Structure 1
Amino acid sequence: MLRAGGICELESGYGRRCSRAAEHGDHFYPWSKGGATSLRNFVAACAHCNGRKRARIPRPWMLTRLERRRASGTGMAVPVGERRRLRSA
C-alpha cells in the first residue's frame, strides 16, 4: 500500500490509473490461476477495480503499463506479477 501511495494501481480506462483510494490487496496474477502470494504479485486496488478484475489473468499490456507506472514513481524498475510452481498431478 505504501508503494502505491494508498491509491489504486489498476486502470480505470483509457490507460489511466484509477484515482480511487486503495482498499484491497489483490493478486495481480490470481491465486486461483497460479499467482504467488508475494509483494511482487501484490497490487493495491479499490473495491470497484478489484471487483471488475475478478480472477482473470491480466493481459500482457496491463503488466507493461503497471511496471512503467511503478518505475516512474521510484526511478527504478519494479517488476510486477509472480507465479508459483504448480504441482503436476
Structure 2
Amino acid sequence: MIRAGGRCELEAALGRRCGRPAEHADHFYPWSKGGSTSLQNFVAACARCNRSKRASIPSPGQQRRMERRRRGYAPASSSVSVGERQPLP
C-alpha cells in the first residue's frame, strides 16, 4: 500500500491506472493459479477493480503496463516487477 501511495494500481480504461483509494492487497498473478504470496506479486487494489479482476490471469501486456506505471510512482529503491509465480514442486 505504501509503494502504491494508497491508490489502486490496477488498470481502469485505456491502460491507465485506476487511482481510486486502495482497500485490498491483491495477488496480481492469482494465488489460485499458482501466484506467489510475495511483495513482488501483490498490488494495491480498490474494491471495484479487485472484484472485476477476480482470478483472471493478467496478459503479458498488462504486466508490462503495470511495471511501466510503477516506475512513475514507486521509490527508486523498490522493485517495479510484478507477477511472481510459485515454484513448481
TM-score (ref. length: structure 2):
0.91
Give CA deviations for 1:21-47 in whole Å, capped at 9, x if unaligned.
000000000000000000000000000
How far residue 78 of structure 1 moved from its aligned partner, in angstroms, is 1.4
Gaps (5+ residues) in structure 2?
none
Secondary structure at 1:11 match in 2: coil
**2:41 paired residue number:** 41
Q: Between 78-87 and 50-59, report the one with greater CA deviation.
A: 78-87
Q: Quick one: which of 72, 81, 84 aligns to 2:83?
A: 81
Larger Rg: 1
Q: For structure 1, which runs of at least 5 residues remain unmatched after alignment?
A: none
Higher RCO by CA contacts (8 Å cutoff, separation 6 or greater): 2
Q: How many residues align?
A: 87
Task: State the superposition RMSD in angstroms.
Answer: 1.3
1:56 maps to which residue?
56
Scaled by the length of structure 1, what TM-score is found?
0.91
Which residue of structure 2 lines up, in the alignment, with residue 32 of structure 1? 32
Q: CA deviation at 1:86?
A: 3.1
Mapping of residues 14-33 of structure 1, within 5 Å: 14-33=14-33
Please tell me the residue identity of whatever aligns with 1:86. L
